[in-house]
Amino acid sequence: MPELPEVEATRRLLDPAMRHARFERVLLRRANLRRAFAADFADRVTGATVLEVGRRAKHLLLPLSTGDTLLMHLGMTGDFRVEHRGRPAGELDPAALDPHDHVVFEMSSGCVVTFNDPRRFGAMDLLTPAERASHPTLTGLGPEPLARTFTGTTLARACAGKRTSLKVALLDQCVVAGLGNIYAAEALHLAGLSPRRLASTIATPGGAARPSAERLAVAIKAVLRRAVARQTRASYRSDEFRVYDREGEPCLTPGCRGRITRVVQAGRSTFYCRACQH
Structural element, H or E, at residue 148: none
**12 noted as active-site residue:** no
Q: How far apart are CA 168 and CA 164, in angstroms?
A: 7
What is the DSSP code (8-state) at residue 253?
Answer: S
Q: How far apart are CA 3 and CA 237, in angstroms?
A: 15
**162 noted as active-site residue:** no
Candidates 44, 58, 215, 246; catalytic one: 58
CA-nearest of 185, 136, 177, 183 to 155 is: 177
- Following CA atoms 127, 64, 51, 135 in sequence, which dihedral angle do they give, to the nearest 10 degrees? -10
Candidates 22, 157, 210, 268; catalytic one: 268
Q: How far apart are CA 185 and CA 277, in angstroms?
A: 11
Long-range contacts of 194-197 (CB under 8 A, 24+ apart): 194/166, 194/272, 194/274, 194/277, 194/278, 195/165, 195/166, 195/167, 195/263, 195/265, 195/270, 195/272, 195/277, 196/165, 196/166, 196/167, 196/263, 196/265, 196/272, 197/165, 197/166, 197/278
Q: How far apart are CA 213 and CA 43, in angstroms?
A: 48
How distant is the alpha carbon of residue 119 from its chain centre?
Answer: 18
**268 noted as active-site residue:** yes
Contacts of 185 (CB under 8 A, 6+ apart): 167, 195, 243, 244, 270, 271, 272
Candidates 2, 143, 145, 195; catalytic one: 2
**3 noted as active-site residue:** yes
Candidates 3, 24, 144, 186; catalytic one: 3
Q: Which residues are identified as catalytic?
A: 2-3, 58, 268
